[in-house]
A = this chain, B = another copy of it.
Amino acid sequence: MLSKKCKYAIHALVHMAKEPEKKFLIKDISEACNIPKKFLEAILLELKRAGVLGSKQGKGGGYFLRSNPAEVNLADVVRMFDGAIALVSCATHKFYEPCAECEDEATCAIHHAFVEIRNSTVDLLSGDTIEGLAKRELKMKAKKKAKA
């Protein structure tokens, strides 16, 4: 399971990607996404340090998207907050560590099984950009409203 931090980050980013030009106050994102304000503060700061967000201090300040929302995908965000995407450390690319208990990875069937799962998960996560998710969500909400 993802950490709450990571899930909150995704919610915040998708929220911002709905109005990619807008400048957001921490407080407003916090209320819109139901994320504890102080916790969100730390999250946005990390996203800023990673270059995904920019910010402006002082009166009239706020956070805004710095990266192109079409190029920020869930694989990036998950790696940033929760580290490896794979279910075992020997099956990751970016955070590889051999399993202490495994004698020969090359002939370990478990290793091979989890590499496959990793690949499929990474493919799906990489395909989900915050722009795509934001647009999809706006459409779904519009459709639901039309029905009601």
Contact assessment for B128 and A113 in the assembled complex, using a CB-CB cutoff below 8 Å = yes
Interface presence of A89 (CB below 8 A) = yes
Known: A34-B100, A121-B121. A113 touches B133 (CB 8 A): yes
Interface size class of A (residues with CB under 8 A): 35 or more
CB of A96 to closest CB in B, whole Å: 12
Question: Which residues of the partner chain B approach A120 to less than 8 Å between Cβ atoms?
Answer: 120-121, 124
Contact assessment for A109 and B88 in the assembled complex, using a CB-CB cutoff below 8 Å = no
A interface secondary structure, majority? helix
Question: Which residues of the partner chain B approach A1 to less than 8 Å between Cβ atoms?
Answer: 83-84, 86-89
Contact assessment for A101 and B140 in the assembled complex, using a CB-CB cutoff below 8 Å = no
Question: Which residues of the partner chain B approach A14 to less than 8 Å between Cβ atoms?
Answer: 109-110
Interface presence of A10 (CB below 8 A) = yes
Query: A109's contact among B8, B84, B87, B133, by CB below 8 Å, is which?
Result: B133
Contact assessment for B2 and A88 in the assembled complex, using a CB-CB cutoff below 8 Å = yes
Contact assessment for A10 and B110 in the assembled complex, using a CB-CB cutoff below 8 Å = yes
Contact assessment for A107 and B10 in the assembled complex, using a CB-CB cutoff below 8 Å = no
Instruction: Annotate A69-92 by CB proximity to B: 1 below 8 A, 0 otherwise.
Output: 000001000100001101111000
| Residues 104-148 of A contacting B (Cβ, < 8 Å) | 104, 106-110, 112-113, 116-117, 120-121, 124-125, 128, 132-134, 136-137, 140-141, 144
22 sample A-B contacts, Cβ–Cβ < 8 Å, listed by A number: A1-B83, A1-B88, A1-B89, A2-B87, A7-B99, A7-B101, A10-B110, A11-B101, A11-B102, A14-B109, A14-B110, A34-B103, A35-B101, A74-B113, A78-B87, A109-B132, A109-B133, A109-B134, A109-B137, A109-B140, A110-B133, A117-B125
